[in-house]
Amino acid sequence: MNYAKSTETDVAYYILSKKGEPIYYKDLVTEVIKKKAKPVQSLSRAIAEVYTQINMDSRFHHVGKSMWGLTEWNPPETRRSSSSSDSSSSSGLKASRRREKKFESIQEE
């Protein structure tokens, strides 16, 4: 891969695909900066810029605890027909409200 001609997000994608598992954001961004071999006046600014680009790119997925992976590693959510999702979201909302009321009554006791 020609890192100099690639975008920062393409380099990050390449790094993650080679690693095959999520990487701590600062390690990922630092590796991108090293591979791009760009002169950096402010490391914190460069980290913020690359992090923002990764955050905005749908190929990347935040997996928690400042770790980033690839969206393609996660199975897509199953989608229901609109009529069943409407009824299921309504029943899910009702169940959520019941749980909240139970929780509040437990706290009051």
Residue 46: is its pLDDT beyond 80?
Answer: yes
Can you name the residues that pair with 70 across neighbouring β-strands? 60
pLDDT in tens, 28-44: 999 999 999 877 788 88
Mean pLDDT, residues 86-90: 52
CA distance 18 to 11: 11
User: What architecture (CATH level 2) is domain 3-73?
Assistant: Orthogonal Bundle (1.10)
- The residue extents of the domains of the chain are 3-73
In degrees and rounded to multiples of 5, residue 61 shows phi and psi of: -135, 125
**pTM for this model (two decimals):** 0.66
Residue that the structure tokens 């955050």 belong to: 55
